[in-house]
Amino acid sequence: MAEQHVLLAGSKRPIKSDARRVRDAGAQDNVGVTISLRGAGINKNPEQRRADADKTKAVLERFGLRTTDESKLPQGSLGMNGTVEAMNKAFQTSLGIYHSDRQGDFRGREGELKIPAELKEIVTGVFGLDQRRMARRAAFAGTGSFGSLTPADLEKRYNFPNGDGRGQQVGIAEFGGGYLDADTETFSTKHNLPQAQVRIVELGYSPPRSWQEIQQLPLQEQNAVKAVLPEVMMDVQIVAGLAPAAQISVYFTSWDQKGWIDLLDQALQDKPVALSISYGLSEDAPDWADVAITEIEKRLSAAAELGITVCASSGDDGSGDQMTDGRCHVNYPAASPSVLSVGGTMINGTDEEAWWVAPGERAGGGGATGGGVSVVFDRPTWQQNVQVPSLNQGAKPGRVVPDVAALAGPPYYDLILHGRPKPNGGTSASAPLWAALITRINALLPADKQQRFLTPLLYQNGRHGSFRDISIGHDNASFPLPGVGYPVQKGYDACTGQGVPDATALLTALQ
């Protein structure tokens, strides 16, 4: 008797816009998936979670899948492996090999997934069948070292309180790339800081740890690692420079939707004070499966409930966020109500202003702080006093991005890559700055005020002195599309949020 299947809600995916199917995936090729179970996030019903996992394993093993990882079961995830043939039968799909000029060859799918009827309402997501990239870097490379800001410069500019983050854990999300231990050591030595306590966490991806290891990779893999390497080293060195005694957990994951789920499951398990995410994609990019946003949101909401402040960069492509439909867009996960969305500034002479370098997006050699009004997420209660209308005609008053800001543009951050100065920036830099700041502040708070999701608290009355308003600069329009942007103004705006931190005042406000 044939197995009965039902649709998995929200699983529909179009073909990737710049890709074409070139052949069927090899029937005996191995595939690893993360199965998301109902109630994912915080384990509030261990008995049901165990029963759901046992039933899921029993049903899917009939199709030839095998369980490989139950370590994230408390977060609602189950790791399983199987052949392409087994996955096609279990989830009623047709896995293929696709080619994209940007990504090269990757395994993918089109259409909806189906799950065995016995698992209806138990299995809520299946991730890893499709390996298309669902994140992009937000790094923006500087052109020289003169004038770039050191950790001491940043501490002074943003009035950091004394401290070093001792006893705290901060997380950093990385999609691919590598990690050069020697560069972080050189950076810390250069700035007279203790050596950083870096913990590399491999989540389906093993980063090369030296330049020699990178050079031994096949050329295509070398190029892929080199493209992301400046991002990784920037994230780690910014945190190491501003919270040098904290434990820095660097989560290396895959670029696909599975990578997002695996990353957040691990963060929920580790419970860092802050998690920096310098990657994202437009919230309404067609490559997202609806179920992916739903399942990621479950985990971000759980992180907020556990007191993890996820610092997400608002993007480096202004109001268009690399979309080409002529409308304004915001980056995800920065648009989530369960994160602290971080925009960018630059320094022009003695003034700090909203970051915008013509033409307002990276493809043209410029860049600008992401920001705007979400079309996916409603405006949260703690933003009800924010008066920023959407520039998209007929759009709802959604969640406004960003919440706060920090340096992203010129003169950039003083960093080390391959043993040499390599300034870098972007909102990719402002996010780890905020993660380090929160980590450092948390170490100085009384025990009953530690480990809190800070975003709603930053909007409460009486905390306005915690920020320095950024009220000058170009709007965040990206050209040629959409050609309009959100204005910079006194008070809150959709370029720099509430402004840049006065960290000592923020510490006082949070006590």
Sequential pLDDT tens for the chain (511 residues): 568 999 999 999 999 989 999 999 999 999 999 999 999 999 889 999 999 999 999 999 999 999 999 999 999 999 999 999 999 999 999 999 999 998 999 999 999 999 999 999 999 999 999 999 999 875 555 555 557 999 999 999 999 999 999 999 999 999 999 999 999 999 999 999 999 999 999 999 999 999 999 999 999 899 999 999 999 999 999 999 999 999 999 999 999 999 999 999 999 999 999 999 999 999 999 999 999 999 999 999 999 999 999 999 999 999 999 999 999 999 999 999 999 999 999 999 999 999 999 999 988 889 999 999 999 999 999 999 999 999 999 999 999 999 999 999 999 999 999 999 999 999 999 999 999 999 999 999 999 999 999 999 999 976 768 999 999 999 999 999 999 999 999 999 999 999 999 999 999 999 9
Among candidate residues 11, 314, 341, 428, the one labeled active-site is 428
**Strand runs (DSSP E) across 50-103, as ranges?**
66-69, 77-83, 96-100
262 is catalytic: no
- Give all domains of the chain, ordered by start, each with its CATH number: 5-127 (no CATH), 136-510 (3.40.50.200)
DSSP string, 404-425: EEEE-STT-B--EETTEE--EE
AA letter at 144 = G
pLDDT score recorded for residue 137? 74
231 is catalytic: yes
Q: Any residues with CB less than 8 A from the CB of 156 and at least 6 apart, and which? A: none
198 φ, ψ (degrees, to nearest 5): -105, 125
Distance, CA of 342 to CA of 302 (rounded, Å):
20
- CA–CA distance from 488 to each of 96, 99, 332, 360, 467 (Å)? 46, 41, 21, 14, 15
pLDDT score recorded for residue 139? 53
pLDDT score recorded for residue 463? 72
pLDDT score recorded for residue 142? 54
pLDDT score recorded for residue 465? 86
Handedness of CA 341, 374, 35, 88 (dihedral sign): negative
Among candidate residues 231, 256, 352, 414, the one labeled active-site is 231
Among candidate residues 52, 155, 174, 235, the one labeled active-site is 235
Length of the chain: 511
Measured torsion, CA atoms of residues 262, 258, 302, 387, in degrees rounded to the nearest 10: 130
174 is catalytic: no
